[in-house]
Chains A and B, each alone.
Chain A
């Protein structure tokens, strides 16, 4: 392994058994083989087994941060556990340089009856810290966790936030060379979350390799330059996080549409639609020239075309588009009586929402489309966050809104004058 490579995974695979009883028997077989010095033939699938992680190869260099993304059950956590050495691969090889710290589940070793102080020692020891190391860092751990007077209270009386804070605090103090982070930051209040991110950023500056699993794509885009997209245990895409995230969201969207269509097909076969029903048949994003697109610059025009199909007659229809990012609703566009839209819908048709200037910060937005009767919550059809829209590039993606603005120089004398007037007043 070359000097600056910290993690190298070569054709790594891991299999699981679908059934508990089979798993027990296979376990006995494997162990028997290991003891007798026989090869465990771990590269072969037995009946009832499947590859949870399948032929994954990648390399991470010093100071790099890799984001692991993929839907639930795509093998992200299994891969993390293999990197941590909790499971061994059934095929392939993993090489890791230095100490590995894991934030897979914070506070996993906490005993509810012990006090915070006692648990810091136990948990620190479990995470590989020595007596002197914990002694040296104890105050810093307590300060970071901000548990105050609760230090000598049994942790079962802690709020869940305090519990997580203490767990995280112990874990980030163990000075790893590689830090594996699995979704833990989703808990705790925002103040603590940003504290955690700052701490992780500090570690990154020190050259610590971070492997981050998150379902929040903004987190991945902020923290990771590289991303690895797992799909059913296999690497679907790897590279610059912007591109990989978009690829992932598109695939997710296609999958959701396919599922929704399958469900719809099922419904129409089993139960004929009630009178006055209808559905949204499609959403399209158009740029200023009327061309289809799904990436837009901040401040550029955006048009959203919504196609519908009414099976009966829909009176006083209401159309709505919502934009979400990171779980928060960023913008809502709901049609009302002032909108020049038809009073009743029949058959197929389309409406269009025009946004002259898209003043949203850079990011990937999930889009919901709603067709309702009379009031917005009276849904006829609701496509909840099924579409995705990319805005801008991530370099400037800070803040909640992107207000129109410009920066300009001020002549030196004018600036001085302004300052003097300010002082006098």
Chain B
């Protein structure tokens, strides 16, 4: 029984070293193309499993941003924390910003856990491990869609029409996703190697959330301003928010540099992952 499509696979140490680094990109593209259906199935599995034994199910995607927004509203009203001057109603401003922020926050946490969570499966079946990381961010994308529906409801509630820029949201989401996935690839590897990564990351995400003007406006001066100026997440999140609220990008240069940065992070993450995934498997 001879088949034409039989290919010979060779396993040896330092494989990519032998084949040359340029072949890496070709391999990655082929792997991703061949495994689209696997990614969908893995995403579907996580999605179905998440809501199966949960009472409120997808409602949590609404509850989380509303609770966060309410907290900031309370802090602002009592004068403990000042959110700054905002033209749009604060709940709208906050929920919109949070929806983009959550895309990053839940995405990176899910990505970092994807390999460790799959654990024994990775040790027993040889399948595309990149698909595992990519599929894990699908959950974040679904939450984003649900939260965005909440945003639209708020627009209707306040009787405001969103800017024409809302049509560009699918585009604006791309750099955020790329940054999340790039960092997700690296953190998945690190987490598989050293379990501290997961703990550090969930702390870091909370920390970053307060450091990035998502629930408040860009600070006028001080150290926080300087940090914000070099924070790509700020440009990506607030850029996307500006598009929806006003229909224009306020800080174009910063936004495009940040978008470029996220493309770079994504590619770097993908290559690092590709070169080291079998080594990592041994250490899981």
Contact = CB atoms under 8 A, between A and B. Distances in A.
A104 B275 contact: no
A113 B53 CA distance: 8
Interface stretch (A84-92, A245-253, A297-305): A84-92
A364 to B, nearest CB: 30
B7 A27 contact: no
Contact of B193 (A24, A127, A206): A24
Contacts of B38: 125-126
A409 interface: no
Contacts of B199: none
Nearest to A207: B1
Contact of B15 (A28, A88, A100, A126): A88
Contacts, number: 142
A125 B120 CA distance: 17
A8 to B, nearest CB: 9
Interface in A78-108: 81-82, 84-98, 100, 102, 104-105, 108
A245 B123 CA distance: 29
Contact of A111 (B1, B8, B49, B276): B49
B127 A128 contact: yes
Given A108-B125, A126-B127, A34 B16 contact: yes
A39 interface: yes
Q: Determine the main DSSP class of B at the interface with A.
A: helix
A122 B276 contact: no
B154 interface: no
Contacts of A1: 8
Contacts of B122: 86
A27 B123 contact: no
A308 B53 CA distance: 64
Contacts of B127: 126-128
Contact of B14 (A39, A96, A113, A207): A39
A138 to B, nearest CB: 14
B283 A88 contact: no
A34 B272 CA distance: 9
B261 interface: no
A28 B125 contact: no
A324 interface: no
B6 A126 contact: no
B17 interface: yes
B220 interface: no
A23 interface: yes
Interface residues of A, number: 54
A91 B272 CA distance: 22
A382 interface: no
| Residue of A27, A130, A177 with highest tally of chain B CB at under 10 A | A27
Q: Which of B45, B278, B281 has the most CB of A within 10 A?
A: B45
Given A27-B193, A130-B37, A104 B13 contact: no
A31 B282 contact: no
Given A34-B275, A108-B120, A89 B13 contact: yes
Contacts of B53: 113
Output the residue of B122, B124, B193 with the most chain A CB within 10 A.
Answer: B124
Given A111-B49, A127-B125, A130-B37, A35 B272 contact: yes
A26 to B, nearest CB: 8
A241 B24 CA distance: 42
A346 interface: no
Contacts of B14: 34, 39-40, 42
B42 interface: yes
B194 to A, nearest CB: 6
A94 B10 contact: yes
B49 A100 contact: no
Contacts of B10: 93-95
B125 A97 contact: no
Given A27-B193, A126-B127, A86 B281 contact: yes
Interface string B8-38: 1111111111000100000000000000011
20 contacts: A31-B276, A31-B279, A31-B280, A39-B14, A39-B17, A85-B11, A86-B125, A87-B281, A88-B279, A91-B13, A93-B11, A95-B8, A95-B10, A97-B7, A104-B124, A108-B121, A108-B125, A109-B121, A113-B53, A125-B42
| 8 nearest CB pairs, A to B | A125-B41, A207-B1, A93-B12, A27-B283, A98-B6, A108-B124, A125-B38, A94-B11
Interface of B: 1, 3, 6-17, 21, 37-38, 41-42, 44-45, 48-49, 52-53, 120-127, 189, 193-194, 272, 275-276, 278-283
Given A24-B194, A125-B41, A126-B121, 11 more contacts: A27-B279, A42-B13, A62-B1, A84-B125, A85-B278, A86-B125, A86-B278, A108-B124, A114-B52, A121-B41, A207-B1
